[in-house]
Amino acid sequence: MGRTPPHPQVSQFDLQQVLEALVDPVRRSVVAQLVAVGEDIRCGDFDMPVSKSTATHHFRVLREAGLIRQYYVGTSRMNALRRAEMDEAFPGLLDALTPRAGRPTGAPPA
Amino acid sequence: MGRTPPHPQVSQFDLQQVLEALVDPVRRSVVAQLVAVGEDIRCGDFDMPVSKSTATHHFRVLREAGLIRQYYVGTSRMNALRRAEMDEAFPGLLDALTPRAGRPTGAPPA
């Protein structure tokens, strides 16, 4: 468990921090992909037009804001959307930014 | 009408631009004050902890994103929330960021 990075609790979620995470289109696309797929995604399996180190940075910002939970399966770092906790802290926000049907709003063109 | 600044149409609203406007806590507070008061507010009547020139910048960013409509009454520049148009373009977004009841989410402490 030593490799599991720290995650904030719902009570620590901060709207400012969440918005700063979601204002970046690449990070918003990561969340949109988790919403669209509906299951956890390995870091390397996201469609991200950035370098691996930049991707790692984006994942950290999302994790620290409480948007995703990261855990290991073997050597793979997995990412889970913290949907229920986000909906509890900021009702409607994820729905507004990442509609569940159709092309995710604001996602970069494929 | 020459003094009325340009405003985007709903079809021109862009989620990225709207989020960049709303990620700033002072600008989010301006929107929250319009939601809370429920009527148009003169530029000078907002509670904004910034200089007049910085406030003018914030109003322009909000106007260009489509969040507010500005117009003159005599020498006063008034600000109206473009609520219906925002709700049409991005359903639920304003509700998620600025609850209508209670203290606006994410507003700086008074």
- Tens digit of each residue's pLDDT (9 = 90 or more) over B38-82: 999 999 999 999 999 999 999 999 999 999 999 999 999 999 999
Identify whether B107 is part of a domain: no
pLDDT in tens, B3-40: 788 899 999 999 999 999 999 999 999 999 999 999 99
CB of B22 less than 8 A from some CB of A? yes
CB of A106 less than 8 A from some CB of B? yes
* Residue closest to B34 by CA, chosen among B68, B60, B70: B68
Q: What is the CA radius of gyration of chain A?
A: 13
Identify whether A73 is part of a domain: yes
The domain containing residue B21 runs over which residues? 13-96
What is the complex's ipTM, to 2 decimals? 0.85
A18, burial (CB in 10 Å: exposed 0-12, middle 13-18, buried 19+): buried
* Phi, psi values for residue A23, rounded to 5°: -75, -20
> From the list A19, A92, A93, which residue is nearest B23 (CB)?
A19
Identify whether B101 is part of a domain: no
User: How many whole angstroms separate alpha carbon A74 and alpha carbon A29?
Assistant: 26
For residue A65, the domain's CATH number is: 1.10.10.10
Identify whether A8 is part of a domain: no
Tokens representing B63?
């106007």
Q: Quick check: A19 and B19 CB within 8 A?
A: yes
Q: What's this model's pTM, rounded to 2 decimal places?
A: 0.87
Identify whether B103 is part of a domain: no
Identify whether A6 is part of a domain: no
Identify whether B29 is part of a domain: yes
> What is the tally of structural domains in chain A?
1
